[in-house]
Structure 1
Amino acid sequence: MYLKIIEVINSLDVARISEERKELLKELIEYIQEKAINNDEIRLNFICTHNSRRSHLSQVWAQTMAHYFQINNVFCYSGGTEATALFPMVVTTLQEKGFQIQSLAEGKNPKYSIKFSKKEPPIIGFSKVYDHPFNPTSSFAAIITCSQADTGCPFIAGTEKRIPITYEDPKVSDNTFKQTEVYSNRSLQIATEMYYVFSQINC
């Protein structure tokens, strides 16, 4: 794992997570734990409306924390109720945290290779609907990262568990002087909560 990412992980403070948030995370912990005990593949699909910000941050940090805590057979995905594009500020924010990111394809919906380690395969980042062929069609948990997607996705085919863990949209800071700070804080919030989730897993 890249040194800068390890430094960010070491700086996270799970004590900042409220009891209310821990209660929200409990269902995800239980899902992962059951799969880990049975040596089953753990498929997590993080879903937001546009698959442009929160769902990607969640996917990347969840995959990173699974590797950090050596939880095997974890495969993280993301999707939306509609496809748009991975917002450039998300790419910048992840790069600032130490992720190595390369452009794979340009255009209205660019694709990126997102790496947290030299030795591990990259996360492929691009916007897509939650049931895109790139994503699992069965035996997965759908983690809903925004309230709009929670109401906009009344039914998700193939999911074993639907878990709402919503985050405030950093989009509110776009084109303001607080944009960098807001995106960084949201990234760190998600990183901290995914750290907490995977730290609770016993294999």
Structure 2
Amino acid sequence: MRKKVLFLCTHNSARSQMAQGLMNVMLSENYEAFSAGTFATSINPYAIKVMNEIGIDISNQYSKNFDMYLNDEFDYIVTVCDNAKEGCPYFAGGKKQLHKGFEDPASFSGTYEEKLVKFREVRDKIKEWILEYFK
């Protein structure tokens, strides 16, 4: 039986969405990943683009508020930003809570290409951490 993982971030627009996509492709035999935000918005187009660059399509994912998962059970609740860690409610169904903060690529200002570089850096750091921790 696959373990369930919920990645939480503030807006559920980039970091948590990329983490969900990465885990569901790289470790799908052992894990099923979900994502949500404390203040859900929409998926950042830069996140979609940099994930497509590595062959992972997250364009069908959508931004969700954490409250839709409050009654679900998860093996891991993972906050990927400091704001979500502070604003994250207690998940009664969360067996283990983890925090691994990643820089918010959406807050980076620069040219189109500079923003893509930042999103790639964060994507790669999330990928590296997921493989290191969960594999």
Could you tell me whether the CA contact under 8 Å between 1:43 and 1:136 is conserved in 2? no
Structure 2 residue aligned with 1:188, among 116, 124, 130?
Answer: 124
- Matched AA of 1:95: N
RMSD between superposed Cα atoms in Å = 2.0
Gaps of at least 5 residues in structure 2 are none
Deviations 1:18-77 (A, max 9, x none): xxxxxxxxxxxxxxxxxxxxxx4300000001101110111111222214xxx43x2100
Amino acid at match of 2:18: L
1:91 to 40, 48, 59: 48
What's 1:167 paired with?
A: 102
User: After TM superposition, which residue ranges in structure 1, 4 or more long, deviate above 3 angstroms?
Assistant: none
Q: Give the AA of the match of 2:51.
A: L
Corresponding position of 1:50: 11
Q: Distance in 2 between matches of 1:149 and 1:86?
A: 16
Number of equivalent positions: 133
Q: Distance in 2 between matches of 1:41 and 1:62?
A: 12
Of 128, 147, 162 in structure 1, the residue corresponding to residue 82 of structure 2 is: 147
Q: When the two structures are superposed, what TM-score results if normalisation uses the length of structure 2?
A: 0.87
- Partners of 2:74 and 2:82 lie apart in 1 by 23
Q: Percent identity?
A: 27
Q: TM-score, normalised by structure 1?
A: 0.60
In our comparison, the structure showing a higher alpha carbon Rg is 1
- How far, CA to CA, are the matches of 1:153 and 1:188 in structure 2? 25
